[in-house]
Chains A and B, each alone.
Chain A
Amino acid sequence: MEDHVKVNYDTRIPNNVGLSSDRKVLRALEKWHPGFIDWWNQLIPPRYQQSMVYLRTAVSADSKGWAKFDYVKMPDYRWGVLLAPRQEDRTIPCGEHYGAPAWQEVPGEYRNMLKRLIVIQGDTEPASVEQQHLLALSAPSLYDMRNLFQVNVEESRHLWAMVYLLFKYFGRDGREEGEDLLRRSSGSEETPRLLGAFNEKTPDWLSFFMFTFCTDRDGKMQLESLAQSGFDPLSRTCRFMLTEEAHHMFVGENGVTRTIQATLEAMNRVNIDDPYDIDEIRSLGVIDLPTIQKKLNLHFSLSLDLFGQELSTNAANAFNAGIKGRYMESKLEDDHKLVDDTYTVKTVKNGKIVAEEVPALTAINMRLRDDYIRDAARGVKRWNTLIRRNGVQFEIKLPNEAFHRQIGVFKSVHADVDGDLIGKEEWDRNVSKWLPTSGDNDFIQSLMEPCYEPGRFASWIAPPRVGINNMPGEFDYVKLHMA
């Protein structure tokens, strides 16, 4: 086990999978590498490529020393292939093969299903980097810029991780899929990314925080369920990715927290109690809470769509095959097969939202979505505590699952944020209260002035309580390249 944990730097790709003795995969990866570097170089503006960024790099896969902090130019970041250590005697955690030894090789009968799952997961990783590629231009601080880049390099490493699996286990098809992961591109007419939310724009920093809070959290839940895969290499890959994903969740939640903090402080400074005194609040150079709520409504509803149809054959197949489990599958106490179980989902019947018992296998997506909602609710609760402590009467809420949906049973109805079904007219009349208007977006955009001085922050966001790696407040997280 020892030599497995230490990252292997003796080839150009850091890894703990014995790449140097795996000529086939190594050659495929090395062939793919120039395309990847190309993709990265064309994406990130040159100035930032030249800057020294205080990043953490994974140096080993164990829980103690997996993060090493140092300055690095992003193109020199060592994207590697790291899997969580192999667990002895791991068994398939769910489905019809429950209890059998976990697969170390791809089972032929599930090859396509597995490949599809990996491709879809892999597609989201570079997509988010594409969506965020211009945000550095308006970074509210060097601290935030560094966090953005940290997320970006790690999402790119996640792409590496998925590409490794494709190359290692899926032969020629896998190599082609690896190429296509670089060819598709977020928002492209030509070759869009596979999932809708990953083709949306991330035009400003509040969107970025909301994206990481909502959409990265979907990614986290998907990784959680893939970490429960009976295909062990996938499980180990995802387990390691999750350690990095935790930081992305932090960036999102904390970014919104600090945005709220700045708003509350500004309101208190001039004694505004009414959170809906929007013009006054905005004139202070901060974002009013109702607008923050609207941004949450938007990103949360888009992210719910990522969980797919309420009843899904693919999800049922994947669970039953044992290649994708539920959240915390190994900790759940049931038969892990669900053949005769049911699960309650919400659906629309005769113009009403009703609960319906459906076969649990087909509702796997909804179960994961419910876990997701619970997970997100914890962050919202912390925001509300902060608001309450500052004496402002306002509560941020996650919108109802029926609100503003493009996929699933709620697609064909209109619902308000509380989940009451309404007519088209009422929707049109109120939508500007629930979702950001172009006016709201313009206002947010007007605040997006870069703030590149160490230790300084834009007006609309408060400094963090603690620095990265416990660095002091004025720490120079990005040594910007001077042209």
Chain B
Amino acid sequence: MNNSVDFQTDPSNYRHWRVDYNGAIANVYMDVDDNGGLFDGYDLKLNSYDLGVDIELADIVERMRFEHPQIKVVVLQSGKDRVFCAGANIRMLGGASHSHKVNFCKFTNETRNALESAEADSGQKYIAAIKGACAGGGYELALACNYIMLTDDRNTSVSLPEVPLLAVLPGTGGLTRLTDKRKVRRDLADVFCSTEEGVKGKRAEQWRLVDEVITNSRFDQAVLERAGEFAAASDKSDVSEGIVLTKLDRTFENDGNIRYSTVDVEVDRASRKATITIRGPDSTPTNIESFIDEGANTYLLRLARELDDAILHLRLNELELGLLIFKSQGDHEKLVAHENLLLQNADHWLVNEVLQLWKRVLKRIDITSRSMIATIEHGSCFSGILAEILFAVDRSYMMKDEFEDDDRRIAHISLTDANFGMFPMANGLSRLQTRFLGDQNFLQAATALKAERLEADDAEKLGLVTMALDELDWDDELRIFMEERASFSPDAMTAMEANLRFAGPETMETRIFGRLTAWQNWIFNRPNAVGHKGALQRYGSGMRGKFDMERV
């Protein structure tokens, strides 16, 4: 496990953040340890961040939901004087490989989204309380919050200096949230994004860059008041205590395989693929009380956390595994029982959090830049919540009829309410809606067959799987597919898949992951930014970037 990044942490290991919990309000302090960078070669000055800092933030946001459900308002602020957050560390970015930059941006984007959606999904509203310099990724972090307060000390400004300073974009949602979320007028956004020093004071409010500007001496008081008001106005139900997100049951094996309690990851380096096998539940709680008693041990929560960790690990630490194969094995009925308990109690806070987490994990899969397929084998348990994976991946193959020497239950899938709107994609539609954009009849047919046991032929006819294969074709078809896939350009695959996965309407989220990210990744490959005379490479040296002035 040398040099690989671990996405698991807990409050006892935080180096960069502190959290105080007071009644319904939490104060999150960003206080980045200069010397706490994940890699060598840069200091995290001025509350700048790298992946390690963001992993802790993601952990805070997640635990806020599960461990501190009594919290209704979270105030995000700086633990340092005179600086809120200077954004992503430039030297880190300058020294990072292209793939790391992309993965870093993807993860920070996902963390911003998780933070932003905490209000709608979990009733936890985030306030950014900005005192001191708030630049680039620092302002993007504030933009992800639900309410932005800015001090007016005639000095503090918010800014997106990426373009003038570094020749890159504010790529963590910055450009998109300006126009789509905050609805900043486009010409003002143009001025703002090309002005290194940003905008301060009343003008920041007039331009809609922040929600409220307060004089410095009243600032802390105003933040306190606003937090109190939001907490009082919150319709989040009162919960007396949360559950503890215990350490994952996880073992890394020497060959790169990972064993979790509900997930196995098996690595095949020669063919550059990883197989992710999900195990169904052994048992399921009979009522909501025993579900709560199980806490972090409850099946779907364990699965969500473990699968999330596995995906993140593969994305960042296993760059050459270009194909992910999802499988499941387990007792269909137990899974259905577990799901039923959840769906019947969906308004319980903990059930809600588990389901919302599953939604985020599915979205994480949606935007994972690997070829992904599912194989639905005999003995599998792709029902409802797990079946969503079938509609997230690029293709699915299902076993048809009996296979020799295979006494597992014949492969079948089933649909539940979980497949019809509970887990929307970034485009705001369910995966099945997106899948059947061209023909509503398919969607209706699928709806009508909810809870039915669908074997391969039916599933194929209904358009729920790509191919149903019998014993004679199964091995060959899969082998040929995998060999073909492995021969294609990884870049072309990433680009093709990303384009095919997100049909349907644009949302702020799709624009962030589609347009903004794609443009940013283009820039990240262009000499004007990353060439040895590019602005990003030269940043800090005193020398400006030398640009090729041709417009492309």
Enumerate chain A interface residues (CB-CB to B < 8 A).
96, 112, 115-116, 180, 183-184, 188-192, 194, 309, 311, 313, 315-317, 319-321, 338-339, 359, 361-362, 364, 412
A194 to B82, CA, bound (A): 10
Chain-A contact segment, one of B21-29, B138-146, B534-542: B534-542
Whose C-beta in chain A lies nearest to the C-beta of B203? Answer: A176
B221 to chain A, nearest CB (A): 12
A313 to B164, CA, bound (A): 15
- Is B153 in contact with A320, judged by CB distance below 8 angstroms? no
Give per-residue flags for B127-155: 1 if the beta carbon is below 8 A from chain A beta carbons, else 0.
00000000000000000000000001111
A359 to B215, CA, bound (A): 41
B543 sits at the interface (CB 8 A): yes
- Is B542 in contact with A191, judged by CB distance below 8 angstroms? no
Give per-residue flags for B28-58: 1 if the beta carbon is below 8 A from chain A beta carbons, else 0.
0000001000000000010000000000000
- Is A191 in contact with B541, judged by CB distance below 8 angstroms? no
26 contacts between A and B (CB under 8 A): A96-B544, A112-B164, A116-B197, A180-B155, A184-B155, A188-B216, A189-B217, A191-B154, A192-B153, A192-B155, A309-B45, A313-B539, A313-B540, A316-B540, A316-B542, A316-B543, A317-B544, A319-B542, A321-B544, A339-B543, A359-B541, A359-B542, A361-B541, A362-B541, A362-B542, A412-B34
B401 sits at the interface (CB 8 A): no
A467 to chain B, nearest CB (A): 41
A47 to B154, CA, bound (A): 31
- Is A361 in contact with B542, judged by CB distance below 8 angstroms? yes
Closest 6 CB pairs of A and B: A316-B542, A361-B542, A320-B542, A180-B154, A190-B217, A313-B540
- Is A316 in contact with B541, judged by CB distance below 8 angstroms? yes
A75 to chain B, nearest CB (A): 25
The verdict on A191 contacting B197 (CB below 8 Å), with A184-B154, A313-B539, A362-B542 known, is: no
A14 to B152, CA, bound (A): 34
Task: Determine the chain A residues whose CB is within 8 A of the CB of B45 once the complex forms.
Answer: 309
A153 to chain B, nearest CB (A): 24
Interface contact tally, CB-CB below 8 A: 59
Task: Determine the chain A residues whose CB is within 8 A of the CB of B541 once the complex forms.
Answer: 316, 359, 361-362
Whose C-beta in chain B lies nearest to the C-beta of A309? Answer: B45
- Is A183 in contact with B164, judged by CB distance below 8 angstroms? no
Enumerate chain B interface residues (CB-CB to A < 8 A).
34, 45, 152-155, 164, 195-197, 215-217, 539-544
A311 to B91, CA, bound (A): 13
A339 to B546, CA, bound (A): 14
Task: Determine the chain A residues whose CB is within 8 A of the CB of B195 once the complex forms.
Answer: 112
- Is B164 in contact with A191, judged by CB distance below 8 angstroms? no
- Is A317 in contact with B153, judged by CB distance below 8 angstroms? no
- Is B155 in contact with A194, judged by CB distance below 8 angstroms? yes
A161 to chain B, nearest CB (A): 20
Whose C-beta in chain B lies nearest to the C-beta of A313? Answer: B540
Task: Determine the chain A residues whose CB is within 8 A of the CB of B196 once the complex forms.
Answer: 112
Whose C-beta in chain B lies nearest to the C-beta of A192? Answer: B153
Task: Determine the chain A residues whose CB is within 8 A of the CB of B152 once the complex forms.
Answer: 191
Whose C-beta in chain B lies nearest to the C-beta of A110? Answer: B544
Whose C-beta in chain A lies nearest to the C-beta of B45? Answer: A309
A118 to B539, CA, bound (A): 22
Whose C-beta in chain A lies nearest to the C-beta of B216? Answer: A190
A15 to B161, CA, bound (A): 37
Task: Determine the chain A residues whose CB is within 8 A of the CB of B217 once the complex forms.
Answer: 189-190
A152 to B544, CA, bound (A): 39
Task: Determine the chain B residues whose CB is within 8 A of the CB of A321 once the complex forms.
Answer: 544
Task: Determine the chain B residues whose CB is within 8 A of the CB of A112 once the complex forms.
Answer: 164, 195-197
B340 to chain A, nearest CB (A): 57
B59 to chain A, nearest CB (A): 26
The verdict on A96 contacting B543 (CB below 8 Å), with A112-B195, A116-B197, A191-B216 known, is: yes
A96 to B545, CA, bound (A): 12
A321 to B165, CA, bound (A): 13
A104 to chain B, nearest CB (A): 22
- Is B540 in contact with A183, judged by CB distance below 8 angstroms? no
Selected contact of A320 from candidates B164, B197, B543, CB within 8 Å: B543
Whose C-beta in chain A lies nearest to the C-beta of B35? Answer: A412
Task: Determine the chain A residues whose CB is within 8 A of the CB of B164 once the complex forms.
Answer: 112
A266 to B527, CA, bound (A): 71
The verdict on A183 contacting B543 (CB below 8 Å), with A112-B197, A190-B217 known, is: no
- Which among A96, A315, A338 has the greatest number of chain B C-beta atoms within 10 A? A96
A317 to B164, CA, bound (A): 13
Task: Determine the chain B residues whose CB is within 8 A of the CB of A362 once the complex forms.
Answer: 540-542
A112 to B155, CA, bound (A): 14
Task: Determine the chain A residues whose CB is within 8 A of the CB of B155 once the complex forms.
Answer: 180, 184, 191-192, 194
Task: Determine the chain B residues whose CB is within 8 A of the CB of A96 once the complex forms.
Answer: 543-544
B537 to chain A, nearest CB (A): 13
Whose C-beta in chain B lies nearest to the C-beta of A184? Answer: B154
A132 to chain B, nearest CB (A): 21
B195 to chain A, nearest CB (A): 7
A183 to B153, CA, bound (A): 9
- Which among B152, B154, B197 has the greatest number of chain A C-beta atoms within 10 A? B154
The verdict on A189 contacting B216 (CB below 8 Å), with A319-B542, A361-B541 known, is: yes
Task: Determine the chain B residues whose CB is within 8 A of the CB of A192 once the complex forms.
Answer: 153, 155, 216
A311 to B34, CA, bound (A): 14
A112 to B216, CA, bound (A): 25
Task: Determine the chain B residues whose CB is within 8 A of the CB of A116 once the complex forms.
Answer: 197
Task: Determine the chain B residues whose CB is within 8 A of the CB of A189 once the complex forms.
Answer: 216-217
A242 to B58, CA, bound (A): 53
B47 to chain A, nearest CB (A): 14
B78 to chain A, nearest CB (A): 16
The verdict on A313 contacting B542 (CB below 8 Å), with A112-B196, A189-B217, A190-B216 known, is: yes
The verdict on A190 contacting B153 (CB below 8 Å), with A112-B164, A112-B197 known, is: yes
- Is B215 in contact with A317, judged by CB distance below 8 angstroms? no
A412 to B152, CA, bound (A): 30
A97 to chain B, nearest CB (A): 11
Beyond A112-B164, A115-B197, A317-B542, 4 additional contacts (C-beta under 8 Å) are: A316-B540, A320-B542, A338-B542, A361-B542
Task: Determine the chain B residues whose CB is within 8 A of the CB of A191 once the complex forms.
Answer: 152-155, 216
Whose C-beta in chain B lies nearest to the C-beta of A339? Answer: B543
- Is B544 in contact with A320, judged by CB distance below 8 angstroms? yes
A362 to B538, CA, bound (A): 12
The verdict on A190 contacting B215 (CB below 8 Å), with A112-B164, A184-B154 known, is: yes
- Is A361 in contact with B216, judged by CB distance below 8 angstroms? no
A413 to chain B, nearest CB (A): 12
Whose C-beta in chain B lies nearest to the C-beta of A182? Answer: B154
Task: Determine the chain B residues whose CB is within 8 A of the CB of A311 once the complex forms.
Answer: 540
A228 to B147, CA, bound (A): 45
A319 to B153, CA, bound (A): 29
B205 to chain A, nearest CB (A): 15
A92 to B540, CA, bound (A): 22
A474 to B3, CA, bound (A): 77
B288 to chain A, nearest CB (A): 51
Task: Determine the chain B residues whose CB is within 8 A of the CB of A183 once the complex forms.
Answer: 154
Task: Determine the chain B residues whose CB is within 8 A of the CB of A194 once the complex forms.
Answer: 155
Whose C-beta in chain A lies nearest to the C-beta of B546? Answer: A96
Task: Determine the chain A residues whose CB is within 8 A of the CB of B154 once the complex forms.
Answer: 180, 183-184, 191
A116 to B195, CA, bound (A): 12
A313 to B48, CA, bound (A): 15
Task: Determine the chain B residues whose CB is within 8 A of the CB of A412 once the complex forms.
Answer: 34
A309 to B164, CA, bound (A): 22
B93 to chain A, nearest CB (A): 14
Task: Determine the chain B residues whose CB is within 8 A of the CB of A309 once the complex forms.
Answer: 45
A96 to B164, CA, bound (A): 18
A190 to B152, CA, bound (A): 8
A309 to B217, CA, bound (A): 28
A364 to B540, CA, bound (A): 12
Task: Determine the chain A residues whose CB is within 8 A of the CB of B215 once the complex forms.
Answer: 190
